[in-house]
Amino acid sequence: MSIDYQEKIPNNVNLAEDRRLQRALEKWQPGYQQWWSELGPTDSHNMDVYLRTAISVEAGGWANYGHVKMPDYRWGIFLAPAEEDRKVNFGTHKGDAAWQEVPGEYRAELRRLIVTQGDTEPASVEQQRHLGLTCPSLYDLRNLFQVNVEEGRHLWAMVYLLHAHFGRDGREEAEEMLERHSGDADKPRILEAFNEDTPDWLSFFMFTYFTDRDGKYQLASLAESSFDPLSRTCRFMLTEEAHHMFVGETGVGRVIQRACEMMVEHKTDDVRKYGGIDLVTIQKYLNFHFSVSIDLFGQEVSTNAANYFTMGLKGRFQETRIDDDHLLKDDAYPVAEIKGDEIIFAEQSALTAVNERLRDDYIRDCQRGVDKWNKIIAEAGIDFELTIPNRAFHRGIGKFSAVKTTPDGNLISDAEWEAQKNKWLPNEEDRQYVTSLMEAVTEPGKYANWIAPPAKGINGQAVNFEYVRFN
């Protein structure tokens, strides 16, 4: 089914047949547009950007590419096609037909999950809003805006669910999505990682690699939901999410590649002299973004998560491919904990450990990209390996938030942490240095000195294509 872009709100949910819902969403729309113009990408109003827009939700050929004036981007509501006879696949209702409406007894929990998910989407746009002013190339500027418009669309996806299925309190929650702001002292975003700054492009690439990947795992778990509209909307969001992680993986890879070129050319590790970002600094940024992102999986042992699972609201990653009873009443799962001065793994109820299991899936996935980055370094003949820090390092949520560790996971005193932390996390000087490199490069085909050009362009276009036109 292709999507009609003549409608005020493009959609594949037959909005025209539900006038009340359509009116409610059309009432929310101007507030969204105002939010975008105030807190979306700075000074982007006159730019024509080579963006992809969803024109269908079928697996092949769902996206259309073309130059779009930024404020005219059409945010729509798209659900993946319904699966015939879809069933509840886990928890106490396993085997029942999937729900098309919210069960009254789970309303509060479902609403909370949808609001938490929705809140992250505009938050990331707010975090990234000034980056366009210092883009390293038109290619990167276009990728930033692509990520931003799709995060905006993901907010629409959650707002649709709130409006369509939660009545008046759903509409109030949708309003509040535009009232909370990243880093706001009075009304911050819900999850901590979304109140951090994304002040420079190295942070942006790390964020899209590590934090958007949390999005992938959370959306995949919500795609298992017995509440079918949530499942279908998350399935389509995942299609878009893949590009965001690609931007992160290749972005960090290109920064590493440029550092390696400079190291080889000048026979030194200290590429700052030549305007590059040294591998030690890249490792510190990695440590920061990984540790902040694994906080997003919640507590290691969580009764909230166990309840969501038992109720059938939020499953495990690829739930139906797991070979067990999908009830988890008597199963165990190894969970990291502190014993004496060591971190050990101890068996816990698998039901209360579903957050931790998802974190494990995520950590394995993170490692794959880091392996690719290390391959770039090894191919340059350089003896250096980037590593993912231990899960206990620099944590703000869960039991490790009570201790201090080295990146290897050795417990240390507060005094030792204070003495060493500048070696492990970006310090003021590192951040100032990276910031000093951030200057806009807007000539087609030109790339900032600290980053290598991409291996190829977007949608078969050349790397020197005019991805953004300024009017």
- Minimum CB separation of residue 107 from ligand BYC in Å reads 16
Total residues contacting ligand BYC by CB under 6 A comes to 25
Nearer to ligand BYC, 207 or 450 (CB): 207
- Minimum CB separation of residue 127 from ligand BYC in Å reads 8
End-to-end Cα spacing for the chain: 35
Interface residues for ligand BYC in 377-406 (CB under 6 A)? 397
- Stretch of residues binding ligand BYC (CB under 6 A), selected from 128-136, 267-275, 299-307, 333-341: 299-307
- Stretch of residues binding ligand BYC (CB under 6 A), selected from 9-17, 197-205, 214-222, 423-431: 214-222
Nearer to ligand BYC, 246 or 433 (CB): 246
- Minimum CB separation of residue 211 from ligand BYC in Å reads 5
CB atoms within 10 A of CB 83: 12
Q: Does 214 bind ligand BYC (CB under 6 A)?
A: yes
- Stretch of residues binding ligand BYC (CB under 6 A), selected from 29-37, 81-89, 212-220, 364-372: 212-220
Interface residues for ligand BYC in 135-154 (CB under 6 A)? 151
Residues in contact with 30: Cβ distance below 8 Å, sequence separation at least 6, in sequence order: none
**SS3 assignment for 404-426:** EECCCCCEECHHHHHHHHHHHCC
- Minimum CB separation of residue 196 from ligand BYC in Å reads 11
Sign of CA dihedral 95, 101, 103, 107: positive
List 333's β-bridge partners, or say none. Answer: 348
Q: List the one residue out of 151, 158, 175 whose CA is nearest residue 113.
A: 158
The mark string for 336-365 relative to ligand BYC (x by CB under 6 A, - otherwise) is: -------------------x----------
Interface residues for ligand BYC in 239-278 (CB under 6 A)? none
Q: List the one residue out of 125, 13, 29 whose CA is nearest residue 75.
A: 29
What are the CA-CA distances from residue 6 to residues 11, 34, 75, 146, 153 (Å)?
Answer: 10, 21, 12, 22, 17
Helix axes 212-222, 228-266, angle to 10 degrees: 160
Q: Does 212 bind ligand BYC (CB under 6 A)?
A: yes
Following DSSP, what letter does each residue of 237-251 receive, concatenated? HHHHHHHHHHHHHHH
The mark string for 85-124 relative to ligand BYC (x by CB under 6 A, - otherwise) is: ----------------------------x--xx--xx--x
- Minimum CB separation of residue 416 from ligand BYC in Å reads 26
User: Tokens standing for 453?
Assistant: 């050009």
- Stretch of residues binding ligand BYC (CB under 6 A), selected from 15-23, 30-38, 53-61, 210-218: 210-218
Residues in contact with 380: Cβ distance below 8 Å, sequence separation at least 6, in sequence order: 257, 260, 261, 263, 264
DSSP state of 300: S
Q: Does 409 bind ligand BYC (CB under 6 A)?
A: no
Taking CB atoms, the residue at the shortest distance from ligand BYC is: 298
What are the CA-CA distances from residue 457 to residues 287, 460, 465 (Å)?
Answer: 29, 6, 8
- Please identify which residue in 24, 77, 138, 305 interacts with ligand BYC, judged by CB under 6 A: 305
- Please identify which residue in 182, 195, 203, 211 interacts with ligand BYC, judged by CB under 6 A: 211
- Minimum CB separation of residue 237 from ligand BYC in Å reads 8
- Minimum CB separation of residue 140 from ligand BYC in Å reads 17
Dihedral of the alpha carbons of 274, 277, 281, 286, in degrees to the nearest 10: -170
Q: List the one residue out of 211, 140, 182 whose CA is nearest residue 438.
A: 140
Let me know: does 170 contact 111? Beta carbons within 8 Å: yes
Nearer to ligand BYC, 211 or 257 (CB): 211
Binding site for ligand BYC (CB under 6 A): 113, 116-117, 120-121, 124, 151, 191-192, 211-212, 214-215, 218, 295-299, 302, 304-305, 314, 355, 397
